[in-house]
Amino acid sequence: MRRLIDCPGSAQLVAAIAALRSQGLQADRYCFSGWAPRDRFAAFSAEVARMATQLQPGLTGSAIAPERFTSWLGRSLSALEQQQLRQEIGLETVDELWLATGWRPKEQLLRQLYPTARCLCYGDGLGVYVAADSVLQQRRGWRSRLRSWWSPATKPLPADGGHFIFSGDRQPPFPSQPVPLSDLEDYLHTLANALPTQAIASLRQLTAQREWGVLLTANLSEQADGAYISLTAEIEAYRQFLADQSLPSALLLKPHPRDSATKLQQLTTAIADLGVEPLVLQDSQLAFWPIEVILLSLLPDLQGLPVFTVSSAAVPLQALGADVQLGFGAAIVRRQFTRKGQRLRRHEEQQLQRWLQVGNGASNPRL
Please give the pLDDT value at position 284: 80
The predicted-structure confidence for 307-357, as pLDDT tens digits, reads as follows 999 999 999 999 999 999 999 999 999 999 999 899 999 999 999 999 998
Residue 260 has pLDDT above 70, yes or no: yes
Please give the pLDDT value at position 336: 97
Instruction: Determine whether domain 195-363 maps to CATH 1.20.1260.
Output: no
Decide which of 3.30.160, 3.30.360, 3.40.1350, 3.40.50 is the CATH code for 3-179. 3.40.50
Rounded Cα distance, 42 and 63, in Å: 8
Please give the pLDDT value at position 132: 81
Residue 166 has pLDDT above 50, yes or no: yes
Residue 305 has pLDDT above 50, yes or no: yes
Residue range(s) occupied by CATH 3.40.50 in the chain: 3-179, 195-363
Residue 96 has pLDDT above 50, yes or no: yes
Helix (H) or strand (E) holding 234: helix 231-243
Handedness of CA 280, 283, 287, 291 (dihedral sign): negative
Residue 121's Cβ-side half-sphere holds a number of Cα atoms within 13 Å equal to 30
Contacts of 66-69 with C-beta under 8 Å, sequence gap 24+, read 66/33, 66/34, 66/35, 66/106, 67/38, 69/33, 69/105, 69/106, 69/109, 69/149
- Interhelix angle for 10-22 vs 181-192, to 10°? 130
The predicted-structure confidence for 7-55, as pLDDT tens digits, reads as follows 999 999 999 999 999 999 999 999 999 887 767 899 999 999 999 999 9
Please give the pLDDT value at position 73: 74
Rounded Cα distance, 174 and 214, in Å: 36
Handedness of CA 230, 233, 239, 243 (dihedral sign): negative
The band of 136, judged by pLDDT with boundaries at 50, 70 and 90, is low
What is the rounded average pLDDT of the residues 167-194?
93
- Weakest mean pLDDT among 56-70, 79-93, 148-162: 148-162
Say if residues 311 and 218 touch (Cβ distance below 8 Å). Answer: yes
Please give the pLDDT value at position 291: 95
Looking at every residue in the chain, the average pLDDT score rounds to: 88
